[in-house]
Amino acid sequence: MSVEIKGLNEECGVFGVWGSPDAAKLTYFGLHALQHRGQEGAGITANNGGQLRSERGLGLLADVFREPRRLEQLTGTAAVGHVRYATAGNHGIENIQPLEFNFSDAQFALAHNGNLTNAKTLRHRLEAAGAIFHASSDSEILMHLVRRSQSPTLTGQLKEALRQVHGGFAYLLLTNDRLFAALDPNGLRPLVVGQLPTGGYVVCSETCALDAVGAKFIQDVHPGELLTIDDQGLTVDHYTTAGNLAICSMEFVYFARPDSNIYGVNVHSARKRMGAQLAKEQPVDADIVVGVPNSSLSAATGYAEASGLPYEMGLIKNQYSSRTFIQPTQALREQGVRMKLSAVQGVVAGKRVVLIDDSIVRGTTCRRIVKLLKDAGASAVHLRIASPPLRFPCFYGIDIQTTKELVAAQKTIPEMCTSFGADSLSFLSEQGVIDSVGLDVAAPYGGLCMAYFNGDYPTPLYDYQAEFDEEMQWLKK
Amino acid sequence: MSVEIKGLNEECGVFGVWGSPDAAKLTYFGLHALQHRGQEGAGITANNGGQLRSERGLGLLADVFREPRRLEQLTGTAAVGHVRYATAGNHGIENIQPLEFNFSDAQFALAHNGNLTNAKTLRHRLEAAGAIFHASSDSEILMHLVRRSQSPTLTGQLKEALRQVHGGFAYLLLTNDRLFAALDPNGLRPLVVGQLPTGGYVVCSETCALDAVGAKFIQDVHPGELLTIDDQGLTVDHYTTAGNLAICSMEFVYFARPDSNIYGVNVHSARKRMGAQLAKEQPVDADIVVGVPNSSLSAATGYAEASGLPYEMGLIKNQYSSRTFIQPTQALREQGVRMKLSAVQGVVAGKRVVLIDDSIVRGTTCRRIVKLLKDAGASAVHLRIASPPLRFPCFYGIDIQTTKELVAAQKTIPEMCTSFGADSLSFLSEQGVIDSVGLDVAAPYGGLCMAYFNGDYPTPLYDYQAEFDEEMQWLKK
Amino acid sequence: MSVEIKGLNEECGVFGVWGSPDAAKLTYFGLHALQHRGQEGAGITANNGGQLRSERGLGLLADVFREPRRLEQLTGTAAVGHVRYATAGNHGIENIQPLEFNFSDAQFALAHNGNLTNAKTLRHRLEAAGAIFHASSDSEILMHLVRRSQSPTLTGQLKEALRQVHGGFAYLLLTNDRLFAALDPNGLRPLVVGQLPTGGYVVCSETCALDAVGAKFIQDVHPGELLTIDDQGLTVDHYTTAGNLAICSMEFVYFARPDSNIYGVNVHSARKRMGAQLAKEQPVDADIVVGVPNSSLSAATGYAEASGLPYEMGLIKNQYSSRTFIQPTQALREQGVRMKLSAVQGVVAGKRVVLIDDSIVRGTTCRRIVKLLKDAGASAVHLRIASPPLRFPCFYGIDIQTTKELVAAQKTIPEMCTSFGADSLSFLSEQGVIDSVGLDVAAPYGGLCMAYFNGDYPTPLYDYQAEFDEEMQWLKK
Amino acid sequence: MSVEIKGLNEECGVFGVWGSPDAAKLTYFGLHALQHRGQEGAGITANNGGQLRSERGLGLLADVFREPRRLEQLTGTAAVGHVRYATAGNHGIENIQPLEFNFSDAQFALAHNGNLTNAKTLRHRLEAAGAIFHASSDSEILMHLVRRSQSPTLTGQLKEALRQVHGGFAYLLLTNDRLFAALDPNGLRPLVVGQLPTGGYVVCSETCALDAVGAKFIQDVHPGELLTIDDQGLTVDHYTTAGNLAICSMEFVYFARPDSNIYGVNVHSARKRMGAQLAKEQPVDADIVVGVPNSSLSAATGYAEASGLPYEMGLIKNQYSSRTFIQPTQALREQGVRMKLSAVQGVVAGKRVVLIDDSIVRGTTCRRIVKLLKDAGASAVHLRIASPPLRFPCFYGIDIQTTKELVAAQKTIPEMCTSFGADSLSFLSEQGVIDSVGLDVAAPYGGLCMAYFNGDYPTPLYDYQAEFDEEMQWLKK
């Protein structure tokens, strides 16, 4: 499901290249394949022999680089890039990454996907010691920690800094002679390495971006790893070995592109298995299966095949709607004007529909879609969700920081069903998710972070603990 | 399949409103639903009590109306709009419709979908009589004919003019007190009428645009009809009764939106039946069925269900690729850089794939997709096309005016199969198309224009006859 | 005085080139020198071997051609260009010239400076005969007349058409093998011919544009002349010989650039003589002479030299103000916020100032400037105007079509003086203008049109006669 | 003389407001009056109750604020603004000021006009202590020094920081409860304070900006002063009392607007006196006096009046040339195509011209203008420069940092005269400048910095000393 429909937002995709004469161009095409991870801003920094040059802007990558000259002037054999989704209040251009740092003796470009749980504490401590932060995002913190480290080597400084930041993070740090990649101790965010046919290296958020630039997959970056890529090749090291794999389950459910593999598991196939599992756990007597386009189509075909019901295109998404700035007024909406989704009357009229959605955040979309189908003549709409109810906030880089936005934190399943106007509603079980993903690792929840579903966070919450406790109090009321 | 992949282009969508205080806004949302019919330009003309105002521009509707003020200033209770695909050489802003005509005694706004076969002859004749044409498109001709008619009434003038133009056309003509809609004598282009919940009327190219504005379908406009909508309501009249229904079969195969109905037939369902029929006509021993996104997905599910093979997402289209202006160089493309389509390795590796495409124009896309799938590990790719080979040009408003571009006009099916690198290739039969569409009319080819497939044009070709004869000579060589 | 201060607007400058490989570029630089004649729109049409290409847009020339590509693609050895000031209601892009006409058998580009007095009559007559006008300006009329002429040659058709249009006009008409230039029978608008060092020809509104492209002045185009420039060179012919020279006196007073020569008279020198003559006619006991920048500076130095008073920079115009879209609110203006003109306190405080302005239209600027000077400490402000009172409308291409806007048509000189807050006010005499210009021709008013001052129009007013009579009635009341 | 002609560039103008509901709007209009001090970028930061908001961009102020919304959203009763000229290599948006600093406990906006001579040293020292600089300009340094000061109060911190920076500077620092203004110990850059009619305060670079917003002049800021403006009013304090007034003489000669007063001296009047003094020092037998527009017009009228020769408009500057991006090619230039300056043939033909320029930097313009006048028929051109030869670089904020660009550092006056093609060349004396300005202060060179002319810098050069010594060696060769 796309951003404009769900309002559940990934915070960022990263892409870095070392050792290609087309570094910035490859970064462009790589980011293009990661555009679904952030649509509010994009940037690329290239390093041409110690001279950094950045182009950044608000909006889609293609808009930022509408003038071909902006990309062409990013020369050099190394580059890092970033696509950004920004949380409220931080929409300024100064927060668009990569961040560029020019010291008298060194240059750095930093790209960051994730969210720190002790950012506030670190920032206060650094400011008290004279540090000046330029942007409001967390990402600058790492650089301040590196520059204030007493370690004699840059690698040492970076490891020391990485051990001070907590939460979910995938960092790319480009210097004049190296590209560093580091992942948090639980591997909450995805990060992979590949090799170009011409020999250079690529590090990026998802394998779909490796495919987009013709790079061969080498490995997933593992929790606590610090990778160094330079002209001698790839070196894998650790800054910590504490921490179990707890990769964000929502990457499998919703965020990642269907053609990406995470720890060897294809995302589309995982979703199809979730759909099939859902059909087993929550069967229903109906005529057709319809998925909410586009993110739920894999799960819907899985449900259809497992249930033996025909899979139909009962909903259509206008592929141009992401670009329009003009929205129908409330009055027009009430008269039936709509821009994004249409129900296909010729398909659903008189049918009992199993409607598959991958997840429910606020519930407003569900309500609208059930109504669309019923208005188009569906005789029943059975809502089946291919993941468990989302009840807890995420502090690792997904834009749900309060349970107050989560309908499943506030209503029971029957209440939700009534509220959505559906004829029945059920969800996939937690175990169903874990089994459908089927990672082959010895870690709690099969190596997944299931905190959104069960509140069991893989790390301490630091600066967010108080806020979380307060929310839990509120929930209990 | 989208424009950027296939290069087969519809020429235009039209939308008109009479009798709503939100006329221009509804036109905007209606055109938004018709955006797939033309992406090169868009425009809206509103009539506010005899005062016309137009906003037009190159590019997508959302880009043309990026500044909300442009739409807001289009006040009045009647409007017509247009989305355009322009053939080469006619890309200027002066060809973007609606065309606005301001006479001392009258105002008109004209929107036209289609192509005239006697345009050149008419234009020469009019120029010799002193007429000045402002744009290079055919659309102005009708206005010149109207203004030079000796008939005492506007309706009479319009009928006289309509009887002089030949080919495929759907016209909307907005005046100060009426909205006219006229369709060619064979109904080559689709056109429908609906009614708003608030009482006004809408005329537009497809029913999906009626749905988008909450209008209730009233009727398809029939061949030779001239509709008049004014404050007294809708009047259906004819300017001619000569002519059999011969609606463009490619509307069902490729152009129209799956949620539209044409003469009562849902397009998605017709496509699914074509896929099912194809499975019956051209079965193959394979593991999975994959459709070329997005236009072939309906046919692919039909094939999958009829064949009992699993339907899989083996290809993914980057939903952002339509917006990017930067393309990979040839060198990068050879290294594997790609922007639009990806094969999902985790799905297709080791599998015998039935690849469903709706049609083949130049064949370049087919070749690329077969290669993508094989590179991703598919052990075989059996190409099945859900329509017959395209062998003849269209003169009624589709951008194939020479057979030299059509691979099926130049190669046999085995030659094409080899050229595409597929393991087998076959097409749906003509009768298969006709049966799958299943219009309930007594007309040749079940009311469809099948000329692209068999060269049997429903009208004389006039100005194009010589060119066509020459092409046929060329083909025979 | 610039547009934003006075609100008296020239309607257009034209520039044409025949026989240079840099035709469009020269047109650009030539129009740049004519930018003062129209700032609302600009366009260039080049003819590349029978293929016309136009670039046009709203705003300044430099804005229209901000993208260098727009100019670069205008290839060919002949071009015409236009800068436009549009009267209210005609601001659309469709009125930006040159107008391009593409017939099956011929191509034309037309640029027009001036205003026809029988446009309405001609347009009605042509529309009744089936003609379609695309723009609302007068300029298309000529083309319709040409195309409907029965004369066997294009030159014959053009002469016939020129004899039908009345008023003030300078036309450039570019065809595939010629550039025509034609001037109205009274030579109301300026038009000159020059030759490039490389041999080609230039026709344009003012000699300053010849200088800007390095062309050598050949001749002023004379009343009733039709010039033809082709590869054989320049041919001077007449379409009429009826008509006395009556060149717009406001060209000398205000419109033309000081470095231009009109019929051999340098504009700056003429203005300086007007200033000197004004000093003789209207002396005053004062300390310094200050001119309203920029158009009155020539007259002011003439006054200073003739009177023996020091010439001082007592007013400064912000050279960036023409570009700003943000204006102070009324409240801020009352607090003293101002953007365009400043009085120089250090210069005017305690001084008796002779303030020279070239002319007075509405009077609002005068009032503001007198106040500025007094607020800055001037002990007296004696306003001296270097032309007679403007009392009558212009129908030949200047944007004063009603006397109701003219303060001098409504108030006596003493009333104006009081209204402006000046200590005295006087104007140059009509004879003073005629003598200062000093054209060496045997024609009424020394070859000048003095109608704005005395209502004696050099031509019948045709369509405007009734309107004018009504205004005169109103004035008498 | 304007930027595009001379290539001598002021680095920046500043404007701050405290205590007006229209703070940002006033800043806009104030910066508009200071636009001549920097055309490469502009920005405004407003403080709305502790919430900073900035709008910044490259280009002219009017272009940056083309969308009215950008200015409207800058709410609050205090604001600072900046117009920038950037030296090569620093053209990025990140260097556009005001700089915004958001700390957990405080917000600052900083605007800076000038150049520090010990910036490099300070930056290295700060970086070694962990500081991160975000921009490449000097301006951030002050903030780092403030934040690292141990003083208990902000005022104390700021004074401590100001005592560490050396060179020429005028700072505006806006906090949540105060607006600070500080000037370097020699007052090298101008800075003035005024009061709004509504009671608030304004601090800005020149008095012309006070006039533009209707503010009453209160005082020039003096060397070493630190002003604090808050809701209690204006407090004048010093952070140092060491230092003699040495205001940049080029402000009087060229940079400042003619209507500004600096230490009570009107700039136009000072220039006119320089022209008159030049006539006395360097008389010549000639027919007319012509000034290079626009900056030399005051001096030219002074020369004309003192010499008794007529002042003529022999050169015209195209007022639209600053906006055009298209330049004539070398080939076209050689054919005589020109965009900016024209000689008025009707004025200069056959005349012996005294050409007044305010100063000579590279000499390329002089050469071009002499040629223009001779091509237009001038029988002699006597070049008179209203300031002494520019021989030494400036390190305090003017963009001449190497003598290699200065023609007068490399050639004798007779060599220059020959090179320019002039018939004679002479300069105003140093004492002539000092007397014409006539500041009433007891300081070397009458309170002026004359270092560009004589190399006698009012401060140590710190980081620039070595570079300067090397240049002096080069000069001696």
**DSSP one-letter string for D290-344:** EEPTTTTHHHHHHHHHHHTPPB---EEE-TTGGG------HHHHHTTB-SSEEE-
CB contact A73 to D (< 8 Å): no
C339:D32 CB<8 A: yes
Mutation target for D interface from A70, A132, A144: give the one with most D CBs within 10 A.
Answer: A132
Residue A10 — pLDDT band, cuts 50, 70, 90? Answer: low
Model confidence over B210-263: pLDDT tens digits?
999 999 999 999 999 999 999 999 999 999 998 899 999 999 999 999 999 999
Cβ pairs A/B, distance under 8 A: 207
Of D35, D268, D339, Cβ closest to residue C344: D268
Task: Identify the pLDDT of residue B88.
Answer: 40
Give the pLDDT score at A1. Answer: 24
What is the number of domains present in chain C? 2
Confidence at residue C4, expressed as pLDDT on a 0 to 100 scale: 31
CB of A124 within 8 Å of any CB in chain D? yes
Overall average pLDDT of the D133-141 stretch: 83
CA distance linking residue D310 with residue D422, whole number of Å: 20
Q: Is A43 exposed, middle or buried (CB count within 10 Å of its CB: 0-12, 13-18, 19+)? A: buried
What integer pLDDT is reported at residue C5 of this predicted model? 34
Residue D199: predicted pLDDT? 92
Q: How far is Cα A443 from Cα A409, in angstroms, rounded to an integer?
A: 27
Q: A193 and A278 in one domain?
A: no
**Hey, is the C-beta of B147 within 8 angstroms of any chain C C-beta?**
yes
- Let me know whether A203 and A82 are in one domain: yes
Could you tell me if B198 and B306 lie in one domain? no
Mind listing the pLDDT tens digit for each residue in B39-82?
A: 889 999 999 998 999 999 988 999 999 988 999 999 999 999 99
User: Which residue in C132, C136, C147 has the most chain B C-beta atoms within 10 A of its own C-beta, making it the best mutation to test that interface?
Assistant: C132
- Residue B91: its pLDDT value, please? 55
Nearest to A127 among D104, D140, D143 (CB): D104
A196, A268, A345: residue with CB nearest B347: A268
DSSP A90-154: --SGGGPSSEEEE-SS-EEEEEEEEEESSHHHHHHHHHHTT----SSSGGGHHHHHHHH---SSH
Chains A, B in contact: 3+ Cβ pairs under 8 A?
A: yes
Is residue B331 domain-shared with residue B215, that is, in the same domain?
no
The CB density around residue C130, as the number of other CB atoms within 10 Å, is: 17
- Say what angle helices D267-281 and D430-437 make with each other, to 10 degrees: 140
Q: How far apart are CA B23 and CA B201, in angstroms?
A: 10
Task: Give me the percent of chain A exceeding a pLDDT of 90.
Answer: 78
For chain D, percent of residues with pLDDT exceeding 70: 95
Cα dist from A71 to A45, B320, B334, D201, whole Å:
10, 18, 20, 45
Known binding-site residues of C for Mg(2+) equal 295, 357-358
- Encode pLDDT of D266-281 as tens digits: 999 999 999 999 999 9
With bands split at pLDDT 50, 70 and 90, how would you rate the model's confidence at B407? Answer: very high
Residue B8 lies in a domain: yes
pLDDT digits (tens, 9 = 90+) for D51-68: 999 999 988 999 999 988
Mean pLDDT of B364-370: 92
Q: What is the pTM of this model?
A: 0.86
Q: Hey, how many other C-beta atoms are within 10 angstroms of the C-beta on D67?
A: 12
Same domain, A55 and A136: yes
Query: Are C216 and C279 in a shared domain?
Result: no
pLDDT at residue B205 tops 70: yes
CA distance D20 to D78: 7
User: Which residue, among D212, D205, D46, D33, has the nearest Cα to C335 in the 3D structure?
Assistant: D212
* B158 and B209 together in one domain: yes
Touch between A and C (at least 3 CB pairs under 8 Å): no
- Is pLDDT of A3 > 50? no
pLDDT tens, residue by residue, C332-357: 888 888 888 999 998 999 999 999 99
pLDDT of residue C337: 84
Please check whether residue A203 is in contact with residue A16, taking contact to mean a CB–CB distance below 8 angstroms: yes
pLDDT number for residue B403? 81
Question: What is the pLDDT averaged over residues A206-221?
Answer: 96
- Which is more confidently placed, A139 or A65? A65
Enter the tokens of residue A225. 């790893």
Chain C partners (3+ C-beta pairs within 8 A)? B, D
Nearest in space to A206 (alpha carbons), one of A215, C111, D412 = A215
CA nearest A185: which of A263, A127, A134, A238? A238
User: What CATH number is attached to the domain comprising D293?
Assistant: 3.40.50.2020
Question: Is C444 among the domain residues?
Answer: no
Higher pLDDT, B91 or B469: B469
Q: Which residue has the higher pLDDT, A448 or D10?
A: A448
- B363 in the same domain as B233: no
Look at residue D10 in the predicted model and tell me its pLDDT: 55
Helix or strand run (H / E) with residue A57: strand A51-58
DSSP class per residue in A262-293:
ETTEEHHHHHHHHHHHHHHHS----SEEEEPT
C443 occurs within a structural domain: no
The stretch B189-195 carries a mean pLDDT of 97
The 10s digit of each residue's pLDDT in D310-329 is 999 999 998 887 766 788 88
Q: What is the dihedral of CA C207, C213, C217, C221, to 10 degrees?
A: -60
Residue D222 pLDDT more than 70? yes
Give the pLDDT confidence of A216-236 residue by residue, as tens digits: 999 999 999 999 999 999 999
| D73 part of contact set with chain C, CB < 8 Å | no
The average pLDDT across B157-168 equals 97
Name the domain boundary from C225, C243, C261. Answer: C243
Q: How confident is the model at residue C137 (pLDDT cuts 50, 70, 90)?
A: confident
Judge whether C383 and C417 are in contact, CB under 8 Å: yes
Closest CA to B358 of B279, B250, B455: B250
For residues B330-355, one letter each, b for 16 or more C-beta atoms within 10 angstroms of the residue's C-beta and e for the rest, the string is eebeebbbbbbbbbbbbbbeebbbbb
State the nearest Cα–Cα gap between B167 and chain A, in angstroms: 30
Q: Is residue C264 part of a domain?
A: no
- At B139, the pLDDT band (50, 70, 90 cuts) reads confident
Pairing between β-strand D233-238 and β-strand D216-220 as defined by DSSP bridges: unpaired
Q: Chain C residues with CB inside 8 Å of D214's CB?
A: 332, 335-338
pLDDT at position A146 over 90: yes
Find the mean pLDDT for residues A340-361.
94
**Which whole number is the average pLDDT over B108-116?**
94
Based on the fold, state whether residues C79 and C226 are members of the same structural domain: yes
Residue C131 token pair = 């003609």
Residue D473 pLDDT greater than 90, yes or no? no
Q: Does residue B86 sit within a domain?
A: yes
**What percent of chain B has pLDDT above 90?**
78
**Which chain B residues are within 8 Å of A62, Cβ to Cβ?**
320, 323-326
Inside any domain, residue B318: yes
Substitution target in C71, C298, C320 with the highest count of D β-carbons within 10 Å is: C320
Same domain, A100 and A11: yes
**What percent of chain A clears pLDDT 70, i.e. is strictly above it?**
95
Tell me the pLDDT tens digit for each residue of D193-213: 999 999 999 999 999 999 999
The reported pLDDT for the residue numbered A4 is: 30
Q: What would the mean pLDDT of D108-135 be, rounded to a whole number?
A: 93
Catalytic residue status for B12: yes
* Residue D88 pLDDT: 40
Residue B1: per-residue pLDDT: 24
| pLDDT higher than 80, residue B5 | no
Mean pLDDT of the region D76-88: 84
Q: Is the pLDDT of residue B166 over 60?
A: yes
D426 to chain C, any CB pair closer than 8 A? The answer is no
What tens digit of pLDDT does each residue of A150-172 get? 999 999 999 999 999 999 999 99
Closest-CA residue in chain D for C376? D211
Is pLDDT at B476 greater than 70 in this prediction?
Answer: yes
In the structure, what pLDDT confidence band is assigned to residue C1 with cuts at 50, 70 and 90? very low
pLDDT higher than 80, residue C129 = yes
Domain limits at C348?
Answer: 269-438+463-476
Residue D182 lies in a domain: yes
Name residues 301-320 of chain A within 8 A of B (Cβ).
Answer: 301, 305, 310-313, 316, 318-320
Cα of A330 vs its chain's centroid, Å? 31
Number of helical H runs and strand E runs in chain B: 19, 23
Q: What is the pLDDT of residues A410-430, one digit of tens each?
A: 999 999 999 999 999 999 999
Give the model's pLDDT for residue B93. 72
CATH of the domain at A192: 3.60.20.10
In single-letter form, the type of residue at position A232 comes to Q
Q: How many CB atoms lie within 10 A of CB D284?
A: 19
Q: Model confidence at A88, in pLDDT bands (50, 70, 90)?
A: very low
Residue C337 falls inside a structural domain: yes
Mean pLDDT of chain D: 92
Instruction: Please give the pLDDT value at position A120.
Output: 92
Predicted confidence (pLDDT) per residue in D403-444, tens digit: 888 999 999 999 999 999 999 999 999 999 999 999 989 999
What is the mean predicted confidence (pLDDT) over B356-370?
93
Residues B298 and B189 placed together within one structural domain of the fold? no
How close D408 comes to chain C (CA, Å)? 30
Range list of H helices, B255-318: 267-281, 297-307
**In this structure, are C83 and C226 located in the same domain?**
yes
- Residues A12-33 have a mean pLDDT of 96
- Cβ atoms of residues B316 and B307 within 8 Å: no
Of A45, A135, A42, nearest in space to A92 by CA: A135
Q: Give the residue, B426 or A295, on which the prediction is more confident.
A: B426
**pLDDT per residue as tens digits for the range A62-84:** 999 988 899 999 999 999 999 99
> Does residue C440 surpass a pLDDT of 50?
yes
pLDDT at C286 over 80: yes
Contact yes or no for C462/C164 (Cβ under 8 A): no
